[in-house]
Amino acid sequence: MAELLKVMNINKRFGGIVAVKDVSFEIHRGETLGFIGPNGAGKSTIVNLLSGLFPADSGEVELDGVNITKMKPYQRAHLGMARTYQIPRPFPELTALASVATSALCGKKRKNQSLEDAAVEATHYLEFVGLFSKRNILARDLTFYELRMLELARALATTPKLLFIDEVMAGLNPGEASHAIQMIGRAKEQFGVTVFWIEHVMAVLMEAADRIVAINYGAKLAEGTPEEVVNNEDVIEAYLGRGWRTYA
Ligand SMILES: Nc1ncnc2c1ncn2[C@@H]1O[C@H](COP(=O)(O)OP(=O)(O)O)[C@@H](O)[C@H]1O
Ligand SMILES: [Mg+2]
């Protein structure tokens, strides 16, 4: 089965706002799927629906052929889904090590793991994202960039098959952003994760994505290779404009 995740006609309203409108797409095993659209288009809401943070009003989602539509976030995590948040959501009073160890304990293959084992694993993920020297610092004392990396370490520590990245570059300076992008590439290589990646800087997804899905006003606008999507008239009209290559 080529598709790892199958999203079928999902819908979500918040009061009078239709945030997600009949969206369907697939994520293929091993790929990086870029996800783009203007602010307020519904990108984060889709990640929230797919990770189970809140339920869809209608529609179905399958992971590896299993219908997960009604599952809780922790059940989806056990099946191999992990995410990062656009705005980091740390446990402020836990150290970096304890934060990542908590994820290691919650991961899909980790049901009977000891605390010591979880801490050892957490150390590896902290090393991976470059936070080993910060392992004993409380999350509330980390910088924004370090919190971003902590989010990534926490997600990877659950040993996901499918990783949702909601804007890894936002709020970072250019050096930090380029390091964050490299980390995602390395996470793919080292851990074999499939990646769903929301990002505003088109040049980054042109480089990193195998395919791109574009949405606008909660509805799917286009889907295809990066070249196809950036040349799609509806995407240019709604989101990219014509000059994006020159200032990307
Ligand atoms: N929890 C929520 N409660 C109410 N409205 C929300 C909530 N989350 C998102 N929205 C609304 O849904 C729309 C899509 O938002 P969002 O998914 O955050 O867009 P994007 O990530 O593409 O910028 C926006 O109009 C936003 O205000
Ligand atoms: Mg968002």
Residues in the chain where the model's pLDDT stays below 70: 1, 108-112, 244-248
Tell which CATH classification among 3.10.20.30, 3.40.50.300, 2.60.40.10, 3.90.180.10 matches the domain 32-44+71-247. 3.40.50.300
- Pocket probe mutation, ligand 1, options 45, 51, 199, max atoms within 8 Å of Cβ: 45
What's the pLDDT tens digit per position in 148-163? 999 999 999 999 999 9
Domain boundaries, the chain: 32-44+71-247
Question: Of the candidates 55, 85, 225, 70, which has an alpha carbon nearest to the alpha carbon of residue 152?
Answer: 85
What's the pLDDT tens digit per position in 7-49? 999 999 999 999 999 999 999 999 999 999 999 999 999 999 9
17 CA from centroid of ligand 1 (Å): 9
Question: Of the candidates 176, 159, 83, 163, which has an alpha carbon nearest to the alpha carbon of residue 122?
Answer: 159
Question: Quick one: pLDDT at residue 240?
Answer: 86
Residue given tokens 């697939």 in the structure block:
26
Atom of ligand 1 nearest to the CA of 45: 17
Ion ligand 2 residues within 5 Å by Cβ: 43-44, 86
Question: Quick one: pLDDT at residue 112?
Answer: 67
